[in-house]
Amino acid sequence: MDKTYQPEQIESRWYERWEADNRFAPSGEGEPFSIMIPPPNVTGSLHMGHAFQDTIMDTLTRWQRMQGRNTLWQIGTDHAGIATQMLVERKVAAEEGKSRHDLGREAFIDKVWEWKHESGGHITRQLRRMGASVDWSRERFTMDDGFYQAVQEVFVRLHEEKLIYRGKRLVNWDPTLHTAISDLEVENRDQQGQFWHFRYPLADGVTTDAGEDHLVVATTRPETLLGDSAVAVNPEDPRYASLVGKFVELPLVGRRIPVVADEHADMDKGSGCVKITPAHDFNDYEVGKRCGLPLINVFTQDAAVLEAAEAFDLQGRPLADIDTGLPAAYAGLGRFEARERIVADMDAAGLLAQVEAVNNTLPYGDRSGDVIEPLLTDQWFVSVDELAKPAIAAVENGDIEFVPKNYENMYFSWMRDLQDWCISRQLWWGHRIPAWYDESGNVFVARSEAEAREKHGLPADLALTQDEDVLDTWFSSGLWTFGTLGWPEQTEEMATFHPTSVLVTGFDIIFFWVARMIMMTCKFTGQVPFKKVYVHGLVRDGQGQKMSKSKGNVLDPIDLIDGIDLETLIDKRTGNMMQPQKAKAIAKATRSEFPEGIEPHGTDALRYTFLSQATTGRDIKFDMGRLDGYRNFCNKLWNASRYVLMNAEGEDCGAAPHAEVELSLADRWVVSQLQKTETQVTKAMEEFRFDHASQALYDFVWNEYCDWFLELSKPVLWDDAASEASKRGTRRTLVRVLEAVLRLAHPMMPFISEEIWQRVAPLAGTHAEGESVMTQPWPLADDALLDDDATRDIEWLKGVIVAVRNIRAEMNIAPGKPLEALLTKGSEADRERLEANRLFLSKLAKLERVGWLDAPEQAPLAATQLVGEMEVLVPMAGLIDKDAELARLAKEIDKQDKLIGGIEKKLGNESFVAKAPEAVVEKERGKLADFQAARKVLVEQRDKIAAL
RNA sequence: AGGACCAUAGCUCAGUUGGUUAGAGCGCCACGUUGACAUCGUGGAGGUCGGCGGUUCAAAUCCGCCUGGUCCUACCA
């Protein structure tokens, strides 16, 4: 093995090898286990969230595979409608100076496919760098042929069952992107706004009870005044009871609109009167429905004022008898410009009563960043009530379980208050809606144009045009678990791998994706899509900030793996920015955070960091310190393995079936500890507690195997007096324990474990040519190998060694200086232990002599440490620093006093003794005795030294 | 406004049915090139577990209130 651990040299080599050997495909044997990857955007690149998520999925997959399960990790990418379309639009604009409209639909879509073929491999290459053991032979795309069929099928069937309908409805309209978007794609941002109070004159000479000839309404959106179709007052409001059914004259427009009574009007707010604009406000739309008001649309798709309004009834049918005239002055003005003009005109007309500053929230499109406009448009909807019922039941009855559990509440609260799902998008990139129209606007839904004609008996010469819209991306990704397995065909894969075992996803897409998958899958397969949902948090930067390009705090997982120099990192963070003025600050912050750039850490270290931070139900603050730490851990494992190989390669490691071996206490101890570790890691994996799993392995490898066992093996291996059988035993233990550790580590650190395993496994005698650690059995603890006696003895040994080391450090004695130690007040067992461990003790504690002091009262001047009841003395003649030792003893006595004080108080409490379980009281008494004995020894020692 | 989650060492985090001398890694201090490893070794310092109150013999752990933070939902006509 190379002297230093260099991850870049082993990682790509092993991944290629595994892939070439087709090790990721299902074995076809054993109980099935399947995970569907949340499909990343095909043109995207791997971010920290992906890297984290993929690490968890890969760890689960490799772990299950090692347990002999028929394991499928399904890979695929998403066409991601809006995101991809925008990306390609920008690219085309930059390269050719053309808009998508310049190109036309066909040519533009060709461009998108071209871009997909060009860049679609980027994220999958990055996924390989993460070590993801996905079955590449089954890679899918949400717009491939199979998916196309599944989507058409689902759409047509839902339409046949009247669960998909088309209608003119108020939707969230993005005036920049010219498409509807879902509620979930709307981001509400707090804003400093204004509140304008307008006077609306009462018509027909009517007055209020107070004698006013007008009503005052307030709005944050004056421009929607043009589309008002009523003024509402609360039905309980005595001030306006007499006005209900009367009219006001809409200022600037002149339209007569009624005063209606509706509970939406809040008597305590403002004047208690509210203007109602059903075509431009979701609440008002509901009022319109209750009061039978017309919908008066005054905006174009750019959110500019129309020349004449459009009036519709609640079914979206045009209304002829409404006055749709609008003042010419506003025609063509954008909504914000129109607002200013209308406010000015109202003011000039003496109708502006008051202007108030308010804080309000505005809806923004999360893609375009434009203010969303509620707009009346023709859209397709999925009626979700029926679909939601089984989807809720599946979680209620435990068919689907969320980890952690509390996300189920989030799921329920959303599912129980669902609005119909608007699935049409006015985009070009996506699954085009399988609906055709004849010239008079009749619509025919079918799997193809030919089927539409056949189904509806349409003549071949009747011109049909397909709906221009495409489906919401989440409509197709909702079919992901079964669409990837060949549905609607009844395939072998469906039978084997569906429902899938677990979905690993972020809480942020529970609504977008998880809920829709559950609805669609229950509907079309009669099965749940997955049995468990492991929900993880967001990966944030070290300060807890969300990573974003505009903040300049983005870390690229590949940079953490390969390393990156400072200047390149700065260029990456400040290049191609939306707000270039921030570049300087970002560069400065980056320089101060990473003065040397970022060192290479390797994939295994990155994965281990994610796993160690994968605690349930909270966001992850990515910790560079931990990344360094786990890179060091890899290095530690590497070097420990070098030690093992140096001592084992070419030697007899007792691999033969009946080899004569003698196991030392240390051998039995480390094997026993390994069993405990195997139990801990397995349990943690079963519970999705990857932080515990990684911690347990780290502890064992570093603090037990390396710190103690390797050290304890040296005296045996390097002592000429030791028997060949004992050397063989120690070598065998070194090799076998390491081999098991590598299997235990493999799901978490696939590369380094494979690299080392290939060399270690042959020595352990468990290796057949051409095998991979990937498919070795997962280590399961054998309780017969637990050895409490060995554990107690080794704990004693460690205690004595630490005691001597402690004395050295406190007394400032050079670590290498040979010392003499005396033990006293030991039991018979202690004496046996010393004889059994004399060699270990003298080597590890650097003692030239160690023996028993039979008459403690004759003890020479010495520094003392306690190991249980027993005392360890290091005679200090001529060396002792009196003051230092007195100070040390005073500190120790003080510590014991505090412990004793605490317990005496507890035991002095009568109700504690009376009410606490006997075992607890006994334990406290035992501790008290121990502490008191320790204190006594320390005090004697102190007095002795003080007397010098 | 309603809800969820969080608050433990300088930093990032464990601490599953109440009883532990409250732990780990990083960072810090001292010493150290002993034949796996300075990406290291040995020893050490550092916490009244956000605050107040309650339940209990016993609270980091259970309950209530408060403060601070993150997020979600709703409202803001």
DSSP code per residue over A304-367 = BEEEEEEEE-TTS-B-SSS--B--GGGTT-BHHHHHHHHHHHHHHTT-EEEEEEEEEEEEEETT
- In this predicted structure, the answer to whether residue A609 has a pLDDT above a threshold of 90 is yes
Q: How confident is the model at residue A206 (pLDDT cuts 50, 70, 90)?
A: confident
What integer is the mean pLDDT of A629-642?
94
**A381 CA, B77 C1': separation in Å?**
27
> Is residue A752 within 8 Å of residue A7, measured between CB atoms?
yes
Q: A768 by DSSP, 3-state: which?
A: coil
Other C-beta atoms closer than 10 Å to the C-beta of A350 total 8
pLDDT(A16) > 90: yes
Work out the average pLDDT over A732-746.
Answer: 95
Does the CB of A909 fall within 7 Å of any strand B atom? Answer: yes
CB A443 within 8 A of CB A166: yes
CB A850 within 8 A of CB A837: no
Q: Which range scores top for mean pLDDT: A459-463, A544-548, A642-646? A: A642-646
> Residue A188, CB, less than 7 Å from strand B?
yes
Q: What is the DSSP letter of A265?
A: S
Please provide residue A176's backbone torsions phi and psi, each rounded to the nearest 5 degrees. Answer: -85, -50
Question: Mean of the pLDDT values across residues A455-480?
Answer: 90
A 20-49: CB within 7 Å of strand B: none
In the numeric block, the tokens 């460690």 are attached to A798
Least confident of A236-245, A462-471, A527-536: A236-245
Residue A829 — φ and ψ, nearest 5°? -65, -40
**C-alpha distances in angstroms, A428 versus A97, A113, A140, A432?**
19, 12, 21, 8
Chain A window 336-365, residues with Cβ within 7 A of nucleic strand B: 358-361
Supply the Cα-derived Rg of chain A in whole angstroms.
Answer: 38
- CA–CA separation, A51 vs A121, rounded Å? 16
Q: How far is the CA of A916 from the C1' of B18 (A)?
A: 12
Express each pLDDT in A514-542 by its tens digit: 899 999 999 999 999 999 999 888 888 88
Using the structure, give the distance in angstroms from the CA atom of A41 to the C1' atom of B72, rounded to a whole number: 25
The residue-averaged pLDDT of A27-32 equals 93
CA of A634: nearest nucleotide by C1' is B39
Strand B proximal residues, A:465-524, Cβ < 7 Å: 511
Question: Residues A252-261: what's their mean pLDDT?
Answer: 87
Residue A565 CB neighbours (<10 A): 14
Please state, in angstroms and rounded to a whole number, the distance separating the CA atoms of residues A654 and A733.
Answer: 9
The two structure tokens encoding residue A630: 């786990």
Q: Which uninterrupted H or E stretch holds A378?
A: strand A373-382
Other beta carbons less than 10 A from residue A774's beta carbon: 21
CA-angle at A484, arms to A478 and A486, nearest 5°: 115
Residue A669 has pLDDT above 90, yes or no: yes
Which nucleotide lies at the shortest CA–C1' distance from A641? B36
Position A541 scores a pLDDT of 86
Q: What is the nearest nucleotide to A812, using C1' and CA?
A: B31
A911 touches strand B (CB under 7 A): yes
Please name the residue whose C-alpha is nearest to the C1' of nucleotide B72. Answer: A410
Quick check: A877 pLDDT over 70? no
* ipTM of the modeled complex: 0.94
Cα torsion A766, A771, A773, A774: sign: negative
Rounded distance between C-alpha atoms, residue A806 and residue A126, angstroms: 49
E-strand stretches of A769-895: 819-824, 847-852, 862-867, 870-875
Question: At which residue do the structure tokens 């054993």 appear?
Answer: A30
A574-601: pLDDT as tens digits: 887 777 888 888 888 888 888 889 999 9
Q: Phi, psi at residue A309, to the nearest 5°?
A: -70, 165
What is the spatial distance, in angstroms and rounded to an integer, between the CA atom of A818 and the C1' atom of B42?
15
**pLDDT value of residue A727:** 87
Q: Is the CB of A810 under 7 A from strand B?
A: yes
Distance CA A780, CA A795 (A): 25
A58 and A542 in contact (C-beta within 8 Å)?
Answer: no
- CA–C1' A616–B15 (A): 14
Element (H, E) at A275: strand A273-276
Q: What are phi and psi of A521, to 5 degrees?
A: -70, -45
H helices present in A909-917, as ranges: 910-915
CB A767 within 8 A of CB A761: yes
As a whole number, mean pLDDT of residues A166-187 equals: 86
Q: What pLDDT, on the 0 to 100 scale, is given for residue A880?
A: 62
What is the sign, positive or negative, of the torsion defined by CA atoms of A78, A83, A85, A91? negative
Per-residue CB contacts under 7 A with strand B, chain A residues 590-619: 613, 615, 617-619
Token pair, residue A634, equals: 């890899």
- List helix spans (H) across A650-787: 665-686, 690-698, 711-718, 724-745, 750-764
Place of tokens 């003649």: A877
Supply the pLDDT for residue A756. 95
pLDDT value at residue A875: 82
Query: Which DSSP letter does residue A76 get?
Result: E
Residue A218 CB lies within 7 Å of the nucleic strand B: yes
State whether the Cα torsion A521-A525-A527-A530 is positive or negative.
negative
Token duo for residue A102: 């310049």
Contacts of A764 (CB under 8 A, 6+ apart): A653, A655, A735, A736, A738, A739
Euclidean distance between CA atoms A670 and A681, whole angstroms: 16
The band of A879, judged by pLDDT with boundaries at 50, 70 and 90, is: low
Does any strand B atom come closer than 7 Å to the Cβ of A808? yes
CA distance A757 to A340: 73
**Beta strands at A862-867 and A870-875: parallel, antiparallel or unpaired:** antiparallel
Confidence tier at A654 by pLDDT (50, 70, 90) = confident
Measured to protein CB atoms, the chain B nucleotides within 7 Å are 3-6, 10-16, 19, 21, 24-27, 30-32, 34-37, 39-44, 56-58, 70-77
State the average pLDDT over residues A332-349.
88
A189 DSSP β-pair partners: A362
Asked whether the predicted pLDDT for residue A699 surpasses 90, the reply is yes
Peptide bond into A747 cis (omega under 30): no
Q: Which stretch of A152-161, A290-299, A639-648, A741-750 has the lowest confidence by average pLDDT?
A: A290-299
pLDDT mean over A755-774: 87
Measured from the CB, is A186 under 7 Å from any atom of strand B? no
Q: Whole-prediction pTM value?
A: 0.90
Protein A264 CA to nucleic acid B63 C1', in Å? 39
Question: What is the rounded average pLDDT for all residues in chain A?
Answer: 88
Structural contact between residues A333 and A304, judged by C-beta atoms closer than 8 angstroms: yes
d(CA A147, CA A406): 33
- Distance B76 C1' – A349 CA (angstroms): 27
pLDDT (tens digit, 9 = 90+) per residue, A97-148?
888 889 899 999 999 999 988 888 889 999 999 999 999 999 999 999 999 9
More confident residue, A706 or A890: A706
- The answer to whether A778 and A69 have CB atoms below 8 angstroms apart is no
Is strand B in 7 Å reach of the CB of A409? yes
d(CA A38, CA A145): 19
- Would you say residue A856 has pLDDT above 80? no
Look up residue A816 and give its amino acid. Answer: G
> According to DSSP H, which parts of A812-917 are helical?
828-844, 882-908, 910-915
The three state secondary structure string of A438-502 is CCCCCEEECCCHHHHHHHHCCCCCCCCEECCCEECHHHHHCCHHHHCCCCCCCCHHHHHHCCEEE
SS3 at position A421: strand
Across residues A734-738, what is the average pLDDT?
Answer: 94
DSSP string, A826-840: --HHHHHHHHHHHHH
How far apart are the C-alpha atoms of A719 and A861, rounded to whole Å? 33
As a whole-number percent, the residues of chain A with pLDDT over 70 amount to: 99
